Structure 1
């Protein structure tokens, strides 16, 4: 019975992207990594259309850079390497502890039938070593559900892995918050380590890594940006067009950090143009 629950769990999932990676079905030329700011604000299908290179969005709402590194590492283990990775940067929360950005263990639990996933859960002390031997030890509460995970009403996953907000009438009322002085002493060393490991993974596999700063209705943290530029090649950093008035309109935003579809199309076009102008995908 326990074996049934373990192997049945993946069939109930709405988001099957991680399982596609494990099954070797994620052979794309361009991959987008990030949190919800990558998932909602970057339209992979549009990049694919403009660059003529297969593109897929592997951004997960609520995920941090440690999870982004895990996703890329998993892609390279089971699939052909991409030519390019577009990494969405959460300004200013990329390296600090932020309650809305974490390692998405909930995406791993339903896939515990895969030894690779169980190994990762053990490594991160989410499961004990008994999980390697006993089927029961791999199960958690989510495995005992027999109902399919509900499809979200907003931000559905499209054919390219993106989750656009389809321009419903927004109730968002923007407020420009003042920027607090960025304090690098508060940075989480695990997140810094994961970020550097992701960079090295791309370097080792000759993958072009592009860093993207998406729009926000809040103030742009220039202190974090200056700190970030010390860690990366500046010519590989793309910041949204701060002079474009579309990003100043409340109607362009689903909430402070996420764009409605029409504004996401504008931002995605900026990314595509940046990629083409740099001739990254020659």
Structure 2
């Protein structure tokens, strides 16, 4: 466990020693904050129109402001995570530092888990930043805290699955750019599977809908946390980590 933590800390330091991590965090926060502000402004306009017609009650605040921001944040994560994860293993291979790590007494699974834990720590920081804009609603409104927290959990699990796929792609090549393109292609395919299912219909539709990342994430945005969705993200992340482990084991044997 100590070795995993050591590798994770090393990865996080490496991320923040380069301008890439800082730039991606700044871009992610700026775009999401802008989308959130636009959503709040749109909500205010809709409330004025709603009340002008003499309707009682109000519009769902969380559903109209926080949920759209978190939904768009997942799409941004799909674009940005390949850029973060591409260097985890492929960059070390390109720089020539990988043989020293691969020949160490550490098991391939320890190395994979350490790098993945470092990635999760980075994601925790990113999602913590994204939680700031919605918190500004509390002094002025009454957001649904349960739906808000479920959305954050869903975003973290979705991004963690993105990272696991990116780590698997990074283990499969020595070129970080190829790893980024490969992981983005796989993630995009998983994201749009439900669209393909809508065109096919029948049992194929149900199967593709289950494997669609977007469908599982949408449940979290609605405030629904189900065991089926949790298991899906855990299994997808585990599949990526196991693939990376097998690749490292194969390279160690060949070496």
Tell me if TM exceeds 0.5. no
Give the greater-gyration-radius structure (CA): 2
Higher strand share: 1
